[in-house]
Structure formats: C-alpha cells, structure tokens
Structure 1
Amino acid sequence: MNQKVVLITGCSSGIGLSLAVRIAKDEKKRFMVYATMRNVSRGAALVEAAGKTLGRTLEIKQLDVCDEKSIKACVDSLPERKVDILISNAGMGLIGPIECQTIDEMKTVMDTNFFGLVRLLQEVLPDMKKRKKGHIVVISSVMGIQGILFNDVYAASKFAVEGFCESLAVQALRFNLNISLIEPGPVITEFERKVFEEGMKVDLSKADKVTADMFTNIYLKNYSQIFETLGQTPEDIAEHTLKIITMDNPPFRHQTNTLYTPMTTLKYADPNGDLPIDTFYKMVFEHDKVFNASLNFLKMLRWRSRKSFTIDKDKDKDKAS
C-alpha cells in the first residue's frame, strides 16, 4: 500500500500526541507518521499511547521548530525527504498584562508559534512544489481570528500564522497544494495547565491596580470555568484533523468547536470591528450574571451533545453517499 507520510511537530503531549496516535492507528493504515518533539527524552507518554503502532506506522524523531538545522536533519532522515502531509502543531502560550511581560518572552512566543511554521515550510514546501502534491495543516486557534482578553501576544502570533497562510494559500493553489487551518477554541491539555500556572505566577507589580484586579479576579477566576464549559479534548481535535486530511477537497479554515462559533461570528457581522469588542466588554464587565448563565447554558449543550457536531454530521453524509 502507498502510505502517505505525515510529519507532525510538538508530539510529546497534548494535541500533538493525540494527533500522532490517532493517525498512526488509522484503521485503513493509510499513513506513516513521523511524530517529532524538541526533546525525545520526553517521549515516554507517546511511546505508551502508540502501543503496537510504534515502529510500524509511527516513528519518533527529534525536531525543534526554532532550529533550522534540526528541521533539516529530520527531513533529511525521511525516505526521499518526502512529506505528504505536514502538521504544524508545536507552540507555546503566554497570558497576562503586557506591562508585566518582557520583550524576550514575547519574542519566544512569536519565534515558536509563527517563525517555527515558517522554518518548517522553508524546508518542506519546495519539495511539495516540485511534486505538485502535499497538504499543509496548521493547528491554529480561534484566537487567530479574534483576540481574547490578556492573550495579546499569543493572539498576535496566531493572527500572524493566519495571515501568512492566507497569503500562501493563493500561491499553493498554483502547485496543487492544500493548506488547512485547524482552529480549536479551549482545549484541555497539559499545555493549557502550564499556561495557567505560569499566569498565576505573573509579577503584577508593574501593572496598575485596575489591570491587576482585572487579570486576577476576572480572567484567572473564570479561566477554569471557561475551559470546563467550552473545552474540548485533544482526542477530539485529532478526530477533526483526521477528517480534514482524508478529504478530497479540504477546507482552508475549520473550527472544531461549534459552541465557540457564535463568538467568532461576531467579527464577521460588523465590518467596523466594534461589535465583538463591545460584546466581550459587556459580557466581562457589565453582565456578570448573564456571562455565568451563558456558560451554564453552553455546559448543558455540551452535556447533551457529548460528541463533536460537525464530525457526526460528516459521518452521516458519508453513510448516505
């Protein structure tokens, strides 16, 4: 069988780990997965989750998206340097008031989340162009569409990714290549737990009292409840991604969480851009009871639905066709 080669970054935990395992365990064995991570000594969880696929449809390799030599060495180690599907997943988060963050911290986020993708494509894209075949899948975020309170730098990195891919997609069509942006909302992972823990440690001494109070008593206070209500599992994101990479005509953008869609739709409803900003402001500062009631209502919807709406609908369509 002619398996497609899938290269995935950031596979030591979270979404990357779930992606690697789910694709490697594809029932039809359509893929050979190269799951990469910056530090392979952190691969124990992936090894355990991979089970019998390890050494068969899954191999673990070292790759640091912030190091061009590391990327080249990894791609050079693949048979004929061939990558059919690149899944750019490696990333890092940063929350808090910008006056409490250093420029170096911000640069690290941009270097990983944005320039990490650029480095990958500089190495992989030329070969895809020559073959006129390939699929670039980027694990982006709804924060690449709409900024969220105290996620200024993280949102900026994802906006950069979205703009970069939107521009590149036009060129890619000329070479018969597909680009897909997977846009999750909150996902319950070790990644998010670490971001929250780092947020709890932020030195707020450089922030004014109002900003510090806003971050501590509004943002951090509601962080867990928002994830509990809207949060998806990394396995759910993996299912959505598998669906995207097996489609004949994959979409450019795909949001994984239908419960979050009304929030991102606000941006497109008002060309001036005021509607989403005003709505979020009122939700956060003026209608605390409405905000909590909305979360409880969404929680009920999540409990009733259990599974991803879009995937279930697609499965039904497949059965009917």
Structure 2
Amino acid sequence: MTQKVVLITGCSSGIGLTLAVRLAKNEKKMFMVYATMRNLNKGEALVEAAGRTLGRTLEIKQLDVCDENSIKACVDNLPERRVDILISNEEMGLIGPIECQSIDEMKIVMDTNFFGLVRLLKEILPDMKRRKKGHIVVISSVMGIQGTLFNDIYAASKFAVEGFCESLAIQALRFNLNISLIEPGPVIAEFERKVVEEGLKTDLSKADKVTADMFMNIYMKNHKQMFETFGQTTEDVAEHTHQIIIMNNPPFRHQTNVLYTPVTTLKYVDPNSDLTTDTFYKMVFEHNKVFNTSLNFLRFLRWRR
C-alpha cells in the first residue's frame, strides 16, 4: 500500500495536534504526516505527543495560512510537492456583540478561516487535479450550518467555507477528487478556552444595556454548562475525521456530535428558517428553566452512553 501524504494546518494544539499524532501512529504506517503551524516556537506539545513518530511518519513544518509565500515554501519542501490528503484546520474565533468588535478583528477571522482555506487550495488543488487524486478535508463547524447567539462573525466565516466547498465539490467530482466537511459542535480544547477568555475581556461600553446584559448574563453565564453538555474531546473529533479519511467513498458532510444533530436538523425541516430562529429565541429568553432541564437530560444521556 502506498503511503499517503497528509498535510495538516493548525497543529500546535487542539484537533490539529491530536489528529496529526493519531495518523502518524497508525500501526500500518498508512500516512506520512506533515503537521504545520504558524509559529514553530509553539511546537513543544506536538513534539512531546508525537514521540517516536517524529522524523519517521511525522514532520513539523512552518505554514501560515494567511501568507501565500509561507504556503508555497511549505509545499515546495514536500517530496514532489505531493499532497494526497489536505486537512484544513487552522481557525480563529470571535464572540461578542458586533458593536464591540472592530472591523480589523472581523477581517482577521475571515482571513484565517475562509481565505486561509482558499490560499491552501490555490497552491495544492492544481496538482490534485493533474493527478486526478486527492482528498480535501475541512474542519468546519455546525456553525457553518446554523448560526448561534454572539458568534456572528465566526459563523459567517464558516458559512463562507461551507458555501465555497459546496460549489467546489461539483468541480472536484470531474477530477475524481473528494471534499469532506467535518462539522463538530463545541470542542473542549485550547482554542475554545482562549475564545472565552477574550470574550470575558470584551469592552461592552459600545453596546446598549440589553445587549450587554444578554452577552454577560445569558451567553457567558450558560457557556460552561453548554460545553459540559455538548462538548467533545479533540480525540473524539480526530477519530471521526480518521474514519472519514480511510473511507473509499467519504461523505461531503459529517457531523461529529450526535447530541447536536437535533439543532441542525431544524434548519432542514423548515426552509424559511423561522422555526429555527423562533425556537432558539424561546429557549434562551422564554423557557430558560426548560432549556436548563434539557441540558441536564442530555448530559445524563451522554453519561449513560
């Protein structure tokens, strides 16, 4: 069996790190993993987790998805510039009222989450087309399907990713290429912790009293409970992604969290999306006790599993 070359972005922590190590430790040595990150000084955790695979089935390389020259330099250093499986995982988060966020902050999120993927594909897709072989795996989010309160810009970036990939998938079929969107819900990782920490520092002076109260006393207050209920480990998401990678006919979309499925299903049940918006509004503002009871019930179901 020919060893597949895997290029993964955003491997300094979280899903990227866990997935890179998981693939590199494959018993059959099916993968040669190039784990990349913007800042190589943040690679200590990956080096430790990789263990004996480092220099064998895993190599660490610098790659900044916001820099076309960085992407080209990384790909140029791969044998024959070949990438069999591209896993786009680099992302930025942003929570809070949009009145309190600068346009520059929003641009960074879009530049990383959406244009970062575009830059990668502009460099790697032509060779995949030429060889008529390749799998593009994008770590997206359920927020690419269903927006949620105070995640406006992050959800917008993921919606952009999903629309882009839906369009590209039609063309990819002509070249025998696969595209898979991996859609986790909340993931218990360093990424989420940092986003929440930044959210708590938000200057709410530009927001009206109702919005500021909504953010701090509803969204932030319930954030921990939401993660305790719905949160997945990076290992769980990595396992789902691994299974998609080894499939002969991988799906275009794959949600990793069954507890989140009812939330996204609402979107498909009602094409007008009125049901979704109304349901979320009532859950948050009119039926808070019911919402908390539901979370406790879901947590019980997860424990029973």
TM-score by length of 2: 1.00
Q: SS at the partner of 2:188?
A: coil
Distance 1:304 1:122 in 2: 46
Unpaired segments ≥5 residues, structure 2? none
| Shift of residue 91, structure 1, vs aligned partner | 0.3
Tell me how far 1:125 sits from its aligned partner.
0.0
In the other structure, the counterpart of 2:299 is 299
CA distance in 2, matches of 1:148, 1:41: 34
Correspondence 1:171 to 2:179: no
Partner of 1:138: 138
The one-character-per-residue Cα deviations of 1:187-238 (angstroms, maximum 9, x if unpaired) are 0000000000000000000000000000000000000110011000001110
Indicate yes or no: 2:275 matched with 1:275.
Answer: yes
Shift of residue 271, structure 1, vs aligned partner = 1.2
What residue in structure 2 maps to residue 241 of structure 1? 241
CA distance in 2, matches of 1:110, 1:208: 26
Structure 2 equivalent of residue 90 of structure 1: 90
More displaced 10-residue stretch of structure 1: 184-193 or 19-28: 19-28
Partner Cα distance (2:294, 2:178) in 1: 37
2:96 alignment partner, SS class: coil
List structure 1 segments (4+ residues) > 6 angstroms apart after TM superposition.
Answer: none
How many Å separate the matches in 2 of 1:297 and 1:17?
32
Alignment of 1:41-120 (within 5 A): 41-120=41-120
Aligned-residue offset at 1:273: 0.8
Code of the residue aligned with 2:66 in structure 1: it is C
Partners of 1:103 and 1:134 lie apart in 2 by 36
Q: Distance in 2 between matches of 1:304 and 1:139?
A: 28
Deviation at 1:101, TM superposition (A): 0.2
Q: Deviations over 1:125-151 (max 9, x none)?
A: 000000000000000000000000000
Q: Which residue of structure 2 aligns with residue 31 of structure 1?
A: 31
Q: Deviations over 1:242-273 (max 9, x none)?
A: 00000000000000000000000000011111
CA deviation digits over 1:55-113, x for unaligned, max 9? 11000000000000000000000000000000000001000000000000000000000
User: Does structure 1 residue 251 correspond to structure 2 residue 247?
Assistant: no
CA distance in 2, matches of 1:23, 1:222: 35
Aligned match of 1:311: none
The amino acid that maps onto 1:74 is C
CA distance in 2, matches of 1:51, 1:302: 32
- Give the partner amino acid of 2:91: G
SS at match of 1:17: helix
TM-score, normalised on structure 1? 0.95
Separation in 1, partners of 2:272, 2:93: 28
Q: Runs of 5+ in structure 1 lacking a partner?
A: 306-321
* Cα distance in structure 1, aligned partners of 2:24 and 2:301: 32
**Who is 1:202 aligned against?**
202
Report the Cα offset of residue 28 of structure 1: 1.4
Identity of aligned residues (%): 84
**Deviation, structure 1 residue 2:** 1.6
Residue of structure 1 in register with 2:211 after alignment: 211
Q: How many residues are treated as equivalent by the alignment?
A: 305
**How big is the shift at 1:301?**
1.1
